Amino acid sequence: MNIDSIVNGIVIDHITAGRAMRLYELLGLGDADCSVAIIKNAVSRKLGRKDIIKIDANLPINLDVIGYVDPGATVNIIREGALSEKRIIGKPLRLTNVIRCRNPRCITSVEQELPHVFCLTDPENGVYRCLYCETKGTAPDEK
């Protein structure tokens, strides 16, 4: 398999195997006006197997989404064919409009324009709770 190198763009690397499609959906990459390559189950010395997403443009991406889905992922910024910047992503302390509160009595169900804000309440287990009603958020693998 041959996937061209990127001249200017973003490579999301070290994604846990099987999570690339969830990231693709949450980042809205299906609407991107550029080439996006998803490599699934690539061999990795560090992880055994991993996924990779290559974006052939410098799009603004929400790093909080990446940290929520896979805090061990890395984001590489490519400029003029060379690695310009490498970011190691961790769990974000706050998520805004990434996941939605499922509590029908939450204020976000009544006030539609209110942002859905979730705070990291248990970093060890990756538990996020709604800022308004404290309902537990969905796991990154759930829809």
Q: Specify the pTM.
A: 0.82
- Helix, strand, coil abundance in the chain, percent, nearest 5: 15, 35, 50
> What's the mean per-residue pLDDT of the chain?
88
What's the rounded Cα separation, in Å, for the pair 36 and 10? Answer: 10
What's the rounded Cα separation, in Å, for the pair 15 and 109? Answer: 33
Residue 130 is encoded by which pair of tokens? 């709604």
pLDDT tens sequence across 8-55: 899 999 999 999 999 999 999 988 888 899 999 888 887 789 999 999
Residue 112 has pLDDT above 90, yes or no: no
In the CATH scheme, what is the code of domain 9-88? Answer: 3.30.70.140
What's the rounded Cα separation, in Å, for the pair 63 and 54? Answer: 15
Domain chopping of the chain, boundaries? 9-88, 94-130
Q: Across residues 56-84, what is the average pLDDT?
A: 90
Pairing mode, if any, of strands 74-79 and 117-122?
unpaired
